[in-house]
Structure 1
Amino acid sequence: MNEREKEAEEWLRQVKKTYIDRGMMKWSGFYLSDHTAQMEEERRKRKQIFVAKSEMSLEQIGEVLEEAFSKGRVVSLQMAELNEEHVYEADLTGKVISFLENRIYLQEKKGAIQIVSIEKIRHAEIVH
């Protein structure tokens, strides 16, 4: 190994001793604005508290769902189950596109289809 290579190795050793890696901080500038907006939206939803609506009978819920289905109206559903924090989730909103046994198929505004068990619905109402 010649003198120049020894100097280069010594320089590299010194750099490795003094270099402080910033870890994940160096990547924070690479987050896309869409991703940060989505993260903020999820954070906002987690902080939001949804009040319990009046509990309806299965017969009442069935009438609302039947009307929404026959007239092509948008329905809002509050599910009976509580999340990990023991609060209600946001209502499911969309059009009832089909019934099958004790389930409905709800098409959300963005096009996603949710399969919902009628027994798990706490409250149903026609939105518009």
Structure 2
Amino acid sequence: MKWQGFYLSDHTAALNHQNQQLNEVYVLRPQQSLAEITQLLADAYQRQQPVTIQLKTVDQNNRHWPDITTLIHGYNANDIVIDADRFIPLPEIRNVAYKKTEKL
């Protein structure tokens, strides 16, 4: 009973991180054409270069979901495969850009 009202420090840090992500405003990048999106994704797949994907999907507060930075593991006529088993429908993609590499 004594410890029920206390959070562990790692749980508090995770909650703070989650709140920070919820309050973050994502920059809306321009809508690309399907041809442009498929060309960039095919090129990234062939080169095995990571991309940043912005989806059209919004949450219940009409905010865009965070960008996804990933390698493309495969594709077909309607979807791309990321994270080995996660499929993203091509019509759900708003923008694709090559991941910026950091200079050391």
Q: Which residue of 1 aligns with 2:4?
A: 27
RMSD (Å) for aligned C-alpha atoms: 1.9
- Structure 2 unmatched runs, 5+: none
Q: How many percent identity over aligned positions? A: 22
- TM-score of the two chains, using structure 2 as the length reference: 0.85
Q: Paired residues, what number?
A: 100
- TM-score of the two chains, using structure 1 as the length reference: 0.70
Match of 2:61 among 60, 85, 101: 85
Match of 1:121 among 93, 96, 100: 93
Radius of gyration: which is bigger?
Answer: 1
Q: Which residue of 2 aligns with 1:5?
A: none
CA distance in 1, matches of 2:77, 2:9: 43
CA distance in 2, matches of 1:100, 1:66: 10
CA distance in 2, matches of 1:91, 1:113: 18
Q: Which has the higher contact order (CA 8 A, sep 6+)?
A: 2
Cα deviation for residue 26 of structure 1 reads 4.1
Cα deviation digits, residues 29-70 of structure 1 (max 9, x gap) = 3x3322221111111000011121011000000011001100
CA distance in 2, matches of 1:74, 1:113: 16
- Could you list the structure 1 runs, at least 4 aligned residues long, displaced by more than 3 angstroms after superposition: none
Q: Which residue of 2 aligns with 1:36?
A: 12
Secondary structure of the 2:53 match is strand
- Structure 1 unmatched runs, 5+: 1-22
